[in-house]
């Protein structure tokens, strides 16, 4: 199985929105309030992704992982949006389609995001993971993420309680998976 990682383009908005919508609903079914499920529809996700992909943001990386032309996952990292992350880069999104779980795709995306953040001058990276999202917690810990406190994500709909995970050695994280194939669309 060859995984190709490339920079997301505007034409990818619909595919990303579908994956984001379906994966988020599966992941947070027992964690998020019903109001979040009613409000965060696929059209809402599509609108948000169209907006994000249409705006150039300095220091941000928006990456897709594809397997045989199918979207398998996506990740976004860039300047932090919450003071809890200090001056570290922040992983804002990291989602993998359930059909492609346990194939190293999440690891590859995280390593590529780390590489991108190194090129933007960051030495460390952090993210928030919803308390109770045990599979994600185990994943980040297995990749050397260090839990360092909690914060409340104000979110547009749901104020979630999150653990903060930090990678102090971004270069080390970036080197964890050197076999990722990058396409020339960057």
Range of the domain at 28: 3-179
In the chain the beta strands, taken as DSSP E runs, fall at 3-7, 61-67, 70-79, 89-96, 125-130, 146-153, 160-167, 181-182
In angstroms and rounded to an integer, the radius of gyration of the C-alpha atoms of the chain is: 15
Task: Report pLDDT for 33.
Answer: 85
Enumerate residues 6+ apart whose C-beta is below 8 A from 10: 50, 53, 54
What pLDDT was estimated at residue 171?
A: 87
Check whether 186 has a pLDDT greater than 60: no
Using one digit for the tens of pLDDT, what is the confidence trace for 6-64? 999 999 999 999 999 999 999 999 899 888 888 898 898 999 999 999 988 889 999 99
Whether the pLDDT of residue 183 is over 60: the answer is no
CA distances from 146 to 95, 142, 150, 164, 174 (A): 20, 10, 12, 8, 16
Q: Would the pLDDT of 181 be above 60? A: no
Does residue 140 belong to any structural domain of this protein?
Answer: yes
Going by pLDDT thresholds of 50, 70 and 90, the confidence category of residue 177 is low
Give 124-160 pLDDT, tens digit per residue: 999 999 999 999 999 999 999 999 999 998 877 888 9
Would you say residue 185 lies in a domain?
Answer: no
Is pLDDT of 178 > 60? no
Considering the domain boundaries, does residue 132 fall inside one?
Answer: yes
Look over the chain and give the mean of its residue pLDDT values, rounded to a whole number.
Answer: 90
Residue 184 included in any domain = no
Burial class of 51 by CB neighbour count within 10 A (0 to 12, 13 to 18, 19+): exposed
Whether residue 186 lies inside any domain: the answer is no
Output phi, psi for 90, to 5 deg: -120, 130
What CATH number should be reported for the domain holding residue 101? Answer: 3.40.630.30
Q: Which two tokens stand for residue 159?
A: 């104020």
**Residue in the structure block whose two tokens are 């190293």:** 104
Q: What is the pTM of this model?
A: 0.90
Q: CA–CA distance from 136 to each of 9, 27, 103, 127, 159 (Å)? A: 26, 9, 15, 11, 18
Question: Total domain count for the chain?
Answer: 1
What is the structure's pLDDT at 184?
A: 36
- 179 has pLDDT over 60: no
The DSSP output letter for 150 is E
Q: What is the DSSP letter of 1?
A: -
Q: Is 61 a domain residue?
A: yes
């Amino acid at each position: 199985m060859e995984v190709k990682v490339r920079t997301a383009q505007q034409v990818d908005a619909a595919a990303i929105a579908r994956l984001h919508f379906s994966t988020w609903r599966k992941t947070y079914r027992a964690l998020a309030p019903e109001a979040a499920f009613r409000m965060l529809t696929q059209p809402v996700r599509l609108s948000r992704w169209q907006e994000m992909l249409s705006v150039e943001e300095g220091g941000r990386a928006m990456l897709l992982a594809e397997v045989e032309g199918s979207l398998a996952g996506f990740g976004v990292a860039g300047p932090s949006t919450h003071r809890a992350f200090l001056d570290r880069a922040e992983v804002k999104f990291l989602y993998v389609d359930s059909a492609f779980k346990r194939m190293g795709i999440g690891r590859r995306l995280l390593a590529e995001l780390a590489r991108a953040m190194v090129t933007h001058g960051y030495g460390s990276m952090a993210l928030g993971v919803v308390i109770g999202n045990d599979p994600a917690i185990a994943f980040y810990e297995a990749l050397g993420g260090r839990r360092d406190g909690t914060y409340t994500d104000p979110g547009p709909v749901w104020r979630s309680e999150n653990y903060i995970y930090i990678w102090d050695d971004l270069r080390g994280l970036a080197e964890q998976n050197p076999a990722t194939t990058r396409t020339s669309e960057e």
